[in-house]
Chains A and B, each alone.
Chain A
Amino acid sequence: MDHPQTPRILAPHLQTFQHKIVRILGKVVQLRGETAVIDAGGQVDLILNRDCHLAVGHAVEIIGKVDQNLNVKVQAATDFGTNIDFTAASAVVDATHRYKEIFYDGD
């Protein structure tokens, strides 16, 4: 499949999803040129690509690969604006892993 499954996760799940492609919705905290920090149930360090256009304070949905240092190498970023209910978003992450039969295939 050209578009692999990308389970929605938060910072605490990074360890479990090491070397996997994931989807993370978080709020941009800091931009540092080639890297950035978002808050997604904890701090997540991103390694950006050239196509990312992040804005501090905006919600952003990242698709990326978790590397060995638990940084996320960004493949795509979608701006979600400033009006995102992060409680709902974290409920989705909870549902994703609790009822994963409708969200992703286990190993």
Chain B
Amino acid sequence: MSYQNNYDTTSYNNYGGGGGGGGGGFMPGEGSQNSPSGGRKEYKDDSLRPVTIKQILDAQAMGEEFKIDNTVISHLTFVGQIRNISKQATNITYKLDDGTGSIEVKQWVDSESVEQTNPATVRLIEGIYCRAWGKLKSFHDRKHVGAQIIRPVEDHNEVSYHLLEATAIHLYLTRGPPGGASGASAVAVNGGNQQQQAAGIGHNAYSLASYSAVAQRVYEHLRQAPQSNEGLHSQDIAAKLGIDTGDMTTAGDELLNGGLIYTTVDDQTWALLEAD
């Protein structure tokens, strides 16, 4: 009897263990969550950039990707006047002109919804301003934008708003965030006509002026990001700022040679030489 009793207990425990095994069955689930997180690098880089058409035309091709202001782009938004509309069976191509250039914007037609005409599409006629969202594509070295959405501009202040927003983002990416030392350095780079600035800031700004935009951004990040006295690893900075490894190495060398930063635990971990 006592044996039987033991057996019962054991089998119950085993059953419980089996339940635990069921919990283990969750593991593949976790595994499958890992694979999207493997693609999270791209997701993290996903952004929506307001741009002028000139910036799109000037975008540098980097294999499959494009860069504007040395930053990889994914989604773009811009405002332009429709110059031409060409309707095909599978897509509608709009030629948009915003005064800075013109580009073709293709919107694929969903064959199933052809019957129901989109009221926004009907109002897209030549001469009107519209806003488009989409991704830059290149086909036989000809750039076009594959648009998800194109809608008419209702309030024409959106044209001014968009161009100012595009300017603000362009300045943010090329000169760093507004205010602070980078703002001062941007002014110094711009014209060097701010010599009446406070001596400390003025000196800082002047000394940064000879560095590349990327180096200035790295410096600014090191100055502002929370960190231990070991500083930051170059890969972390590169990831945060969306700079590629080659540019990062160049920027690091510039700042190291200039004596603005120094290496700490290893060659790739940098801290500011001058503590604020």
Partner-B contacts on A (CB < 8 A): 1-3, 5-8, 23, 59, 61, 76, 78, 80-81, 83-85, 88-89, 91-92, 95-96, 99, 101-105
Residues 64-121 of B contacting A (Cβ, < 8 Å) = 81, 83, 95, 97, 99-102
Mask: chain B, 214-253; 1 = CB below 8 Å from A; 0 = not: 0000000000000000000000000000000000000000
B100 contacts A5, C-beta separation under 8 Å: yes
Can you show 11 pairs from A to B with CB atoms below 8 A apart?
A: A2-B102, A3-B97, A5-B99, A84-B156, A85-B157, A88-B160, A89-B160, A92-B164, A102-B52, A102-B166, A103-B99
B155 in contact (CB, < 8 A) = yes
Q: How far is the CB of B131 from chain A (nearest CB, A)?
A: 15
Q: Indicate the member of B52, B129, B160, B171 with the most A CB atoms within 10 Å.
A: B160
Give Cα distance in the complex from A75 to B66, angstroms.
Answer: 34
Give the shortest distance, in Å, between B91 (CB) and chain A (any CB).
20
Which residues of B (154-181) have their CB < 8 Å from a CB of A? 155-157, 159-161, 163-164, 166-167, 170-171
| Residue of A whose beta carbon sits closest to that of B190 | A98
**Residues of B close to A59: CB separation below 8 A:** 156
Main secondary structure of the interface of B (DSSP, over half): mixed
- From A5, A81, A101, B101 is in contact (CB under 8 Å) with A5
User: What's the A-B contact tally at a CB cutoff of 8 Å?
Assistant: 68
Query: Is A104 within 8 A of B157, CB to CB?
Result: no
CB-CB under 8 A for A3 and B102, given A92-B164, A102-B54 = yes
Report the separation of the CA atoms of residues A23 and B81 in the bound assembly, to the nearest whole angstrom: 12
With contacts A3-B95, A6-B99, A102-B100 taken as known, whether A76 is within 8 angstroms of B127 at the C-beta atoms is yes
A61 to B70, CA, bound (A): 33
B155 pairs with A83, CB closer than 8 A: yes
Q: How far is the CA of A14 from the CA of B160 in the complex (A)?
A: 20
B100 and A80 contact, CB distance less than 8 A:
no
| Contacting residues, chain B, for A88 (C-beta < 8 A) | 157, 160-161, 164
- Return the CB mask of B42-80 against A: 1 if under 8 Å, else 0: 000000000110110000000000000000000000000
Q: When chains A and B are docked, how far (Å) is the Cα of A84 from the Cα of B157?
A: 6
Interface residues on B, range: 20 to 34
Which residues on B sit within 8 Å (CB–CB) of A3?
83, 95, 97, 102
The distance from the CB of B174 to the nearest CB of chain A, in whole angstroms, is 9
B123-146 CB mask vs A (1 if < 8 Å, else 0) is 000011100000000000000000
> In the docked arrangement, what's the CA distance between A78 and B266, Å?
61
Interface centre among B55, B95, B156 (most CB of A within 10 A): B156
> Is A78 a contact of B127 with CB atoms below 8 Å?
yes
Inter-chain contacts of A102 with B (CB < 8 A):
51-52, 54-55, 100, 166-167, 170
- Tell me if B171 and A99 are in contact (CB < 8 A): yes
- Decide yes or no: A7 and B99 within 8 Å by CB, A78-B127, A102-B170 being known contacts: yes
